Amino acid sequence: MRIAIGSDHRGYRLKQRLAQWLNERDIRFHDFGCLGERQVDYPDVAIQVARAVAQGDYDHGILVCGTGIGMSITANKVPGIRAALCHSIFMARMAREHNDANVLCMGGDVVGADLALEIARTYLESTFQGERHARRVGKIAAFEARVREVEGRTAED
């Protein structure tokens, strides 16, 4: 499993703890930043991580900002991304099992480190259940394809 991870300044500390946790479990990851607590605009990091996942360079992404809202909104603008804002273990499991989420978003100001690690563990260990959920996720992908066609864009744009 290959993980793309990133944060803004408000999510930096939690991202660092998540990176340490991934490293302890020998889960391969790449840190897309930020690299400290100096102010960083969350869209810059979210777009890098989301594009890396959408292009297949990484299996999943993990994004952290203050609330997780900005990261999830931005990541979901990238075609092929299904970013889920999860502040509970249940949400993380449902994001994978029902929505086939490929980017996990959390808020460093909202969830503590222990809960965040459990959310990440649950997210990474859960698998897409397919069946009726595959039909629904397929509808999202079909809509994205129609939008790209109408706008004359490709997945690489």
Residues with active-site annotation: 65, 98
Looking only at the bridges linking them, the beta strands covering 28-31 and 2-7 are parallel
CA distance 20 to 52: 21
CA proximity to 77, closest of 11, 15, 157: 157
Q: Which two tokens stand for residue 144?
A: 């994205």
Whether 10 and 109 have beta carbons less than 8 Å apart is answered as: yes
Contact 127, 97 (CB under 8 A): yes
